[in-house]
Amino acid sequence: QFVPVMCKSQILIIIIITLKGRKEAQGVRKRGARAWVQSFEEIPHTGKYGWVNLMKFWRQGYFRQLHKHMEGTFNALGPIYREHVGTQKTVNIILPSDIAELFQSEGRLPQRMTLKPWATHREIRQHSKGIFLKNGEEWRSDRVLLNKEVLMSSAVQRFIPLLDEVARDFCKMLQKKVEREGIGQKGKRSLTVDPSPDLFRFALEAICNVLYGERIGLFSSSPSLESQKFIWAVEQMLATTPPLLYLPHQLLLHIGASLWTQHATAWDNIFSHADARIQKCYRRLSSFQGQGSKAEAAGGQYPGVLGQLMEKGQLSLDLIKANITELMAGGVDTTAVPLQFAFFELGRNPEVQEKVRQQVRTSWALADGDPLVALQGAPLLRGIIKEVLRLYPVGITVNRMPVKDIILQNYRVPAGTTVSVCLYPMGRSSDVFDDPMRFDPGRWSSGKGGQRISGFRSLAFGFGARQCVGRRIAENEMQLLLMHVSDSRHEKVETRRRIISSTVISNSPLQVKGLQSFTLVKVADINMLQ
Ligand code: HEM
- Tell me which residues have their CB closer than 6 angstroms to ligand 1: 112, 131-132, 143, 207, 326-327, 330-331, 334-335, 338, 389, 394-395, 398, 460-463, 466-470, 473-474
Residue 248 phi/psi, 5-degree rounding, is -75, 85
- 237: pLDDT strictly greater than 60: yes
Section 31-42 average pLDDT: 78
Distance 331 CA to ligand 1 centre (A): 8
**What is the pLDDT at residue 5?**
29
Most confident of 176-180, 298-302, 493-497: 176-180
Which ipTM was obtained for this model? 0.99
Distance 466 CA to ligand 1 centre (A): 9
**Do residues 331 and 203 make contact, with C-beta atoms less than 8 angstroms apart?**
yes
**What is the pLDDT at residue 351?**
87
Question: Same domain for 27 and 175?
Answer: no
Residue 239's domain is classified under what CATH number? 1.10.630.10
Ligand-binding site membership of 208 (annotated):
no
Distance 336 CA to ligand 1 centre (A): 14
- 493: pLDDT strictly greater than 50: no
Question: Same domain for 136 and 26?
Answer: no
Question: Same domain for 154 and 291?
Answer: yes
Residue 76 maps to a domain:
no
**What is the pLDDT at residue 80?**
98
Most confident of 62-66, 478-482, 504-508: 478-482
Residue 108 maps to a domain:
no
Residue 437 phi/psi, 5-degree rounding, is -85, -5
d(CA 528, CA 521): 12
Distance 364 CA to ligand 1 centre (A): 29
**Do residues 336 and 196 make contact, with C-beta atoms less than 8 angstroms apart?**
yes
Question: Same domain for 359 and 466?
Answer: yes
- Confidence label for 363 from pLDDT (cuts 50, 70 and 90): very high
Question: Same domain for 440 and 323?
Answer: yes
- 392: pLDDT strictly greater than 50: yes
**What is the pLDDT at residue 453?**
67
Angle separating helix axes 304-312 and 317-330, nearest 10 degrees: 160
- Confidence label for 454 from pLDDT (cuts 50, 70 and 90): confident
Mean predicted lDDT score pLDDT of the chain: 81
Query: What's the Cα-to-Cα distance from 90 to each of 86, 133, 451, rounded to whole Å?
Result: 11, 19, 32
Q: Give the three-state DSSP class for 39.
A: coil
**What is the pLDDT at residue 243?**
86
Residue 122 maps to a domain:
no
Question: Same domain for 171 and 25?
Answer: no
Residue 489 maps to a domain:
yes
Between 137-141, 400-404, 447-451, 461-465, the lowest mean confidence (pLDDT) is in 447-451
Minimal-distance CA residue to ligand 1 atom 21 = 468
**What is the pLDDT at residue 254?**
85
- 495: pLDDT strictly greater than 70: no
Residue 404 phi/psi, 5-degree rounding, is -140, 165
- Residue, of 338 and 497, whose pLDDT is higher: 338
- 150: pLDDT strictly greater than 90: yes
Section 256-267 average pLDDT: 93
| Amino acid at position 146, single letter | L
**What is the pLDDT at residue 450?**
54
Minimal-distance CA residue to ligand 1 atom 31 = 470
Question: Same domain for 30 and 153?
Answer: no
- Residue, of 448 and 414, whose pLDDT is higher: 414
**What is the pLDDT at residue 239?**
86
Residue 458 maps to a domain:
yes
Give the list of residues 6+ apart from residue 495 with CB closer than 8 angstroms, or none: 175, 178, 179, 187, 189
DSSP state of 128: P
Angle 448-479-195 (CA atoms, 0-180°, nearest 5)? 125
- Confidence label for 15 from pLDDT (cuts 50, 70 and 90): very low
Cβ atoms within 10 Å, residue 439: 18
d(CA 395, CA 217): 29
Q: What percent of the chain has pLDDT over 70?
A: 81
Q: How many domains does the chain have?
A: 2
Q: Strands of 88-206 (E only): list them.
A: 88-93
Between 221-235, 284-298, 340-354, the lowest mean confidence (pLDDT) is in 284-298
Residue 75 maps to a domain:
no
Residue span of the structural domain in which 438 resides: 131-528
Provide the whole-model pTM. 0.85
**What is the pLDDT at residue 223?**
73
- 202: pLDDT strictly greater than 90: yes
Residue 245 maps to a domain:
yes
- 134: pLDDT strictly greater than 90: yes
Residue 254 maps to a domain:
yes
**What is the pLDDT at residue 153?**
95
**What is the pLDDT at residue 376?**
95
**What is the pLDDT at residue 8?**
36
- 360: pLDDT strictly greater than 60: yes
- Confidence label for 380 from pLDDT (cuts 50, 70 and 90): very high
Question: Same domain for 373 and 248?
Answer: yes
- Provide the residue count of the chain: 530
